[in-house]
Structure 1
Amino acid sequence: MSRFDDFDELGASPMRPVAMIPPADWRPIDIDDLEPSAWHALRHVGNTAVVAGPGAGKTEFLAQRAAYLLQTGICPWPQRILAISFKRDAAANLGRRVAARIPEHSDRFVSMTFDAFTKGLVDRFASALPQGWRRTNGYEIDFPSERYVQDFLGDISPAAPALIRSHVLTLRPGRFVADTVGGWDLPITVPVGDPDDVSGYAALQWWRDRYLGHGKARVDFVMLNRLAELLVRSVPKLRRALRMTYPFVFVDEFQDTTSAQFSFLASVFGGGPTATAVGDGKQRIMGWAGALPKALERFADAFGATTYSLTWNFRSSSTLVQIQHVIATNLDPGAAPAISKADSDIDGNPAEVWMFSSLDQEATVIADWIAADIATFGRVPADFALLARQRIADFETRFRDELARHDIKVRNDDAVVGKMRLQDLLKHEIAQLLLGLLRLADKPRGLPKEWREVLATLTRVHGAMGDEVAQRRVGDDLSKLTVELRSWLRANAPNSTPARDAVNYVLSLLDTAAVRRYVRSAAPDEQLEIVTGAFEARLAAVATASTSWTDTLERFECVDAVVLLTAHRSKGLEYHTVIFLGLDDDQWWAHNRDPIESTSTFFVGLSRAAQRIIFTTTSPFARTGRIATFFSMLDEAGVAELDYS
Structure 2
Amino acid sequence: MQLEPNAYIAATEQNQSLALTAGPGAGKTEMLAQRADFLLRTGVSRYPKRILAISFKVDASKNLKERVQRRCGAELGSRLDSYTFHAFAKRIIDRFRVVLTGNDALNIGYTIGEVKIPHQQILFLDLVPLAIKILHNSEVARNAIRQTYSDVFLDEFQDCTNLQYELVKLAFLGTGVRLTAVGDTKQKIMGWAGALEGIFLQFSRDFGARPLNMYRNFRSQPKLLRLQNEIILTLDPASVMPDEQLTGQEGEISSLRFDTCANEAEWIADSVLQWIRDELVPTSEIAILVSKQLELYAAPLMAALEARSVPYRNEQQMQDITSEPLARLIVDYLQCLYGERYPDAWRSLSKLLIPFEDEDSRSSAKQTFGQFIRRERQAITKEDVGGDRYSSWWERVRSFLKFIGVEIATSLSPDYESKERLDEIVIETRNRINDLRRLDADLLRALCRFSDDQAVSILTIHKSKGLEYDSVIMMAIENEIFFGDQEANRCAFFVGVSRAKQRLVLTHCEMRQRPEGYTGRWSEHRTPQEEYLGYTC
TM range, smaller chain: 0.7 to 0.9
Q: Which residue of 2 aligns with 1:595?
A: 486
Q: Is residue 390 from structure 1 mapped to residue 289 from structure 2 by the alignment? A: no
The one-letter amino acid of 2:267's match is V
Paired amino acid for 2:79: R
Kindly indicate whether residue 256 of structure 2 is the aligned counterpart of residue 357 of structure 1: no
Distance 2:424 2:279 in 1: 41
1:364 Cα deviation from its structure 2 partner:
0.9
Counterpart of 1:391, as a letter, is Q
What CA deviation, in whole Å up to 9, does each residue of 1:353-383 have, x standing for no partner? 2111111110111222233334443323333
Residue 70 (structure 1) aligned with residue 76 (structure 2): no
Moved more, 378-387 or 291-300: 378-387
The answer to whether residue 36 in structure 2 is matched with residue 33 in structure 1 is: no
Partners of 2:121 and 2:78 in 1: CA distance: 34
| 1:227 counterpart = 2:130 | yes
Task: Give the Cα–Cα distance (whole angstroms) in 2 for the partners of residues 398 and 485 of structure 1.
Answer: 42
Tell me how far apart the structure 2 counterparts of residues 274 and 328 of structure 1 sit (CA, whole Å).
30
1:262-305 deviation per Cα after TM superposition (whole angstroms, max 9, x unaligned): 11101101122111000011111111110001111111111100
Instruction: Give 3-state SS (helix, strand or coil) of 2:399's partner.
Output: helix
Alignment of 1:440-479 (within 5 A): 440-443=336-339, 449-459=344-354, 464-479=355-370
1:84 aligns to what SS in structure 2? Answer: strand
Q: Displacement, 1:549?
A: 5.0
Equivalence for 1:203 = none
Distance 1:545 1:386, change over 3 A: closer
| 1:239-638 equivalence runs, <5 A | 239-272=142-175, 273-337=177-241, 340=245, 346=251, 350-415=252-317, 422-443=318-339, 449-459=344-354, 464-490=355-381, 491-492=383-384, 497=391, 500-508=394-402, 510-521=403-414, 527-544=421-438, 549-557=443-451, 559-588=453-482, 591-592=483-484, 594-619=485-510, 630-635=529-534, 637=535
The within-5 A match list for 1:67-146 is 67-104=37-74, 105-129=76-100, 134-135=105-106, 141=112
Which one-letter code corresponds to 1:72 in the other structure? T
CA contact (8 A) 1:314 1:340 kept: no
Distance 1:570 1:230, change over 3 A: same
Per-residue CA distance 1:405-435 (angstroms, 9 max, x = gap): 44422221111xxxxxx24544443333323
Range with greater deviation from structure 2 (262-271 or 232-241): 232-241
Inter-partner Cα distance in structure 2 for 1:456 and 1:55: 27
> Residues 410 and 417 of structure 2 are in contact (CA less than 8 Å); yes or no, is this contact kept in structure 1?
no
One-letter amino acid matched to 1:486: R
Does structure 2 conserve the Cα–Cα contact (< 8 Å) formed by 1:489 and 1:549?
Answer: no
Q: Distance in 2 between matches of 1:427 and 1:99?
A: 23
Contact 2:265 2:300 in 1 (8 A): yes
Given the superposition, is the C-alpha separation of residues 274 and 633 from structure 1 closer, same or farther in structure 2, using an over 3 Å criterion? same
- AA at the equivalent of 2:473: I
Greater shift, 230-239 or 606-615, is seen at: 230-239
Normalised by the size of structure 2, how large is the TM-score?
0.87
Superposed CA deviations along residues 284-336 of structure 1, whole A, max 9, x for unmatched, are 11111100011111111111000111111001111211211222232223223
Whether contact under 8 Å (2:53, 2:154) holds in the other structure is yes
**SS state of the match for residue 259, structure 2?**
coil
Cα distance change, pair 606–450 in 1 and its aligned pair in 2 (3 A): same
Distance 2:447 2:113 in 1: 35
Q: Structure 2: which 5+ residue stretches go unaligned?
A: 513-524
Q: For 1:83 and 1:566, locate their aligned partners in 2 and report how far apart those are by CA, in whole Å.
A: 27
**Counterpart secondary structure, 1:511:** helix
Between the aligned partners of 1:537 and 1:224, the Cα distance in structure 2 is: 29
- Partner AA of 1:371 in structure 2: L
Counterpart in 1 of 2:141? 238
- Within 1, Cα distance between the matches of 2:85 and 2:264? 41
**Residue 137 to residue 75, structure 1, CA distance change in 2 (3 Å):** closer
Mark the CA change 1:549 to 1:342 in structure 2 (over 3 Å): closer, same or farther.
farther
Contact kept? 2:159, 2:190, Cα under 8 Å: yes
Give the residue type in structure 1 aligned to 2:63: N
> Does the residue aligned with 1:277 lie in a helix, a strand or coil?
strand
8 A Cα contact 1:107 1:466, kept in partner: no
Is the CA contact 2:53–2:152 (under 8 Å) kept in the aligned structure 1? yes
SS at match of 1:356: strand
Give the whole-Å Cα distance in 1 for the aligned partners of 2:396 and 2:321: 17
**Cα distance in structure 2, aligned partners of 1:323 and 1:61:** 25
Q: What amino acid is the match of 1:75?
A: S
Counterpart residue identity of residue 215, structure 2: T
Are 1:44 and 2:13 matched, yes or no?
yes
CA distance in 2, matches of 1:520, 1:366: 38
Alpha-carbon distance between aligned partners in 1 of 2:492 and 2:139, rounded to the nearest angstrom: 41
Stretches of structure 1 that go unaligned for 5 or more consecutive residues are 1-31, 145-209, 416-421, 641-645
**TM-superposed deviation, 1:50:** 0.8
Cα distance 1:259–1:631, how it changes in 2: closer, same or farther (>3 A)? same
Q: Distance in 2 between matches of 1:525 and 1:278?
A: 32
Structure 2 Cα separation of the partners of residues 355 and 578 of structure 1: 16
C-alpha contact (below 8 Å) 1:388/1:587 kept by paired residues:
no
State the Cα deviation string for residues 220-255 of structure 1 (Å, max 9, x = none): 455432321231232222222211211111010001
Residues 1:233 and 1:392: Cα distance change in structure 2 (over 3 Å): same
Q: Is the 8 A contact 1:313 1:341 kept in 2?
A: no
1:67–1:465 CA distance, 2 compared to 1 (3 A): same
TM-score (norm 1): 0.73
Partners of 1:496 and 1:374 in 2: how far apart? 29
Shift of 1:89: 1.6
Contact 1:80-1:246 within 8 A present in 2 as well: yes
CA contact (8 A) 1:410 1:563 kept: yes
1:499 offset after TM fit, Å? 5.4
Alpha-carbon contact 1:344-1:611 (below 8 Å) kept: no
What's the CA shift for 1:61? Answer: 1.0
What letter is aligned with 2:2? D
Q: Secondary structure at the match of 1:386?
A: strand
In 1, distance between residues paired with 2:415 and 2:181?
Answer: 21
**Larger Rg belongs to:** 1
The one-letter amino acid of 1:117's match is: F
Alpha carbons 1:86, 1:252 under 8 Å: kept:
yes
Native 8 Å contact 1:382 1:561 kept in 2: yes
Contact (CA 8 Å) 2:449, 2:455: kept in 1 or not?
Answer: no
